[in-house]
Amino acid sequence: MPEPRVLVNPATGAEVARVADSSVEDVDAAVAAARAALPGWRGATPGERAAVLLRWADLIDEHADELSELEVAETGRPWATMRDGELPFATDNIRFFAGAARSLAGTGAGRLSQGYTSVLARRAVGVVGAIAPWNFPLVMAVWKLAPALAAGCTVVIRPAPGTPRSTARAVELLLEAGLPEGAASAVFGDAEVGEALTQHPDVAMISLTGSTETGRRILAGTATHGVKRLHLELGGKAPVVVFGDADVAAAAAGATMGATYNSGQDCTAATRVYAERAVYDDVVEALRESLRAVRVGDPRDPETHIGPLISRAHRDRVHGFVERTSGRVVTGGVVPDGPGWYYPPTLVDGLGQHDELVQDEVFGPVLAVLPFEGEDEAIMLANDVRYGLAASLWTRDVARALRVGPELEFGAVWVNDHLPLASEAPHGGFKQSGFGKDLSEEALLEYSVVQHLMVKHAQPVVHDGFRPA
């Protein structure tokens, strides 16, 4: 039997728990249970499914301190961020999908051909294999479990190997809320377990939040193991476009929050600031001051804004981008002494558009700033990456926002803000940021498929190759 996996607190480097990984046989058993539970759960009324989700949301609220404790210990995110921000948002998501489950109705299409009546109905895709990331373990689990279950699917979820406990506890609470046994379960482990789940012949759909590289591997793997529906929310490289008429202080504050939230470990994080040349120096100075004001420290200190990065290896990776850059480090960029894997908010200027720091996903609190001239160049530079998840633009000119916003090739474009989300609004990207939507009714549609029921009730008047005589 393999040794249990050691979970480590990134704020201290100390062991917090040991967990046993699942085996391939465990994955087979979980998928078999999900397949067995599918007819009953898919056949439940929307109201019955909604009732379970609403009870689940209530139980998460009741266990908020416990769930926050598990996640803070494994991720190092500030306690207040988790307890008072992300958990309420997660339960809001669940309650939204509980309501949306009751509006996922088929369409009575009527008589599309003489002698026939057609009904267009939506039915659950089937068993879903969900792969959740380490940066937002519980919230991302909710983003997968809630819409899939609302649509009538059953789910086997694999949380990231180093951050499994909040998801495991959330699944326990789902069963306590009345979900049928087997309709949702969690399996644990690394690539072997993930591959066993994503390549399983009885899994009808894969839902992944992770890196673009992981998405490519899943695409390749599923291509040789049957045809599966895929939902891939992958990497990002969000631009922040600051025009000369913008409120520079507000733009700097928004970019700072966007770049440092969750220590920059966010696929929608602000990573590239493009400032119109007339205000470029002012933007650089405002960013320098704003980033220096971010308090990095103990996740349990209420004054802390951001905690550590997830691991020593990840911090080394983030710092490597800064060490290799040919640009000028305006602030930050120095690995602090002491325990934990902390990294300071960092600003780099003097870069070219094709520099590594501008093109590649860093996944840490590092912000690049570059100048531009005019709308056309701003649009060209913002779009000139392989990702397309999120972007923001800053201007007082409403007409400009309406002109430029639609030209940005990103799934979400915010104006005069960065990072706001709502349960009712879809989240997902273009290009190599993947396809498919989280949140909103769009997510519910991801986990359902349209079925055409065509009933013959009279002899057709016209016969052709598409209608039987």
Residues assigned a catalytic role: 233, 267
pTM greater than 0.85: yes
Whether 198 and 314 map to the same domain: the answer is: no
Give the pLDDT confidence score for residue 387 in this predicted structure: 98
Backbone phi and psi for residue 186, each to the nearest 5 degrees, phi listed first: -120, 140
Distance CA 438, CA 424 (A): 10
Per the domain annotation, does 305 fall within a domain? yes
Distance CA 436, CA 391 (A): 18
Per the domain annotation, does 467 fall within a domain? no
At a CB cut-off of 8 Å and minimum separation 6, what does 332 contact? Answer: 291, 322, 343, 344, 345, 346, 347, 365, 366
CB 140 within 8 A of CB 233: no
Distance CA 346, CA 333 (A): 5
- pLDDT band at residue 469, thresholds of 50, 70 and 90? very low
Q: For residue 302, is pLDDT > 80?
A: yes
**For 388-408, how does the pLDDT look when each residue is reduced to its tens digit (9 = 90+)?**
999 999 999 999 999 999 999
Element spanning 6, H or E? strand 5-8
CB 228 within 8 A of CB 204: yes
Whether 365 and 385 map to the same domain: the answer is: yes
Q: For residue 468, is pLDDT > 80?
A: no
Per the domain annotation, does 393 fall within a domain? yes
Per the domain annotation, does 182 fall within a domain? yes
Give the pLDDT confidence score for residue 401 in this predicted structure: 98
Whether 254 and 287 map to the same domain: the answer is: yes
Distance CA 310, CA 76 (A): 7
Whether 217 and 294 map to the same domain: the answer is: no
Angstrom CA distances, 63 to 87, 90, 119, stand at: 10, 13, 43
**Total domains, the chain:** 2
At a CB cut-off of 8 Å and minimum separation 6, what does 129 contact? Answer: 31, 155, 156, 157, 158, 197, 198, 200, 203, 205, 206, 207
Whether 137 and 170 map to the same domain: the answer is: yes
Whether 72 and 214 map to the same domain: the answer is: yes
Whether 307 and 405 map to the same domain: the answer is: yes
**Among 161, 422, 190, which residue's Cα sits nearest to residue 310?**
161
Per the domain annotation, does 464 fall within a domain? no
Degrees, nearest 5: CA angle 318-322-328: 155
CB 333 within 8 A of CB 344: yes
HSE (CB half, 13 Å, CA atoms) of 103? 11
Cβ neighbour number for residue 79 with a 10 Å cutoff: 19
Q: For residue 466, is pLDDT > 70?
A: no
Per the domain annotation, does 422 fall within a domain? no
**For 100-139, how does the pLDDT look when each residue is reduced to its tens digit (9 = 90+)?**
999 877 667 778 888 888 988 889 999 999 999 999 999 9
> What's the CATH code of the domain at 279?
3.40.309.10
CB 153 within 8 A of CB 125: yes
Q: For residue 308, is pLDDT > 80?
A: yes
Whether 265 and 203 map to the same domain: the answer is: no
Distance CA 307, CA 138 (A): 17
- Containing structural domain, residue 305: 238-415
Three-state DSSP at 217 gives helix
**For 249-295, how does the pLDDT look when each residue is reduced to its tens digit (9 = 90+)?**
999 999 999 999 999 999 999 999 999 999 999 999 999 999 999 99
Per the domain annotation, does 462 fall within a domain? no
Q: Which whole number is the average pLDDT over 307-317?
A: 98
> What's the CATH code of the domain at 30?
3.40.605.10
- What is the token pair recorded at 394? 């800053």
CB 373 within 8 A of CB 276: yes
Whether 293 and 397 map to the same domain: the answer is: yes
* % of the chain residues with pLDDT over 90: 89
What number of helices (H) and strands (E) belong to the chain? 16, 20
* Mean predicted lDDT score pLDDT of the chain: 95
At a CB cut-off of 8 Å and minimum separation 6, what does 62 contact? Answer: none
**For 335-358, how does the pLDDT look when each residue is reduced to its tens digit (9 = 90+)?**
999 999 999 999 999 999 999 999
Give the pLDDT confidence score for residue 462 in this predicted structure: 55
- pLDDT band at residue 457, thresholds of 50, 70 and 90? confident
Largest CA distance in the chain: 84
Q: For residue 467, is pLDDT > 70?
A: no
- What is the token pair recorded at 444? 């519910």
Distance CA 96, CA 440 (A): 8
Per the domain annotation, does 108 fall within a domain? yes
Strand partners, 116: 456
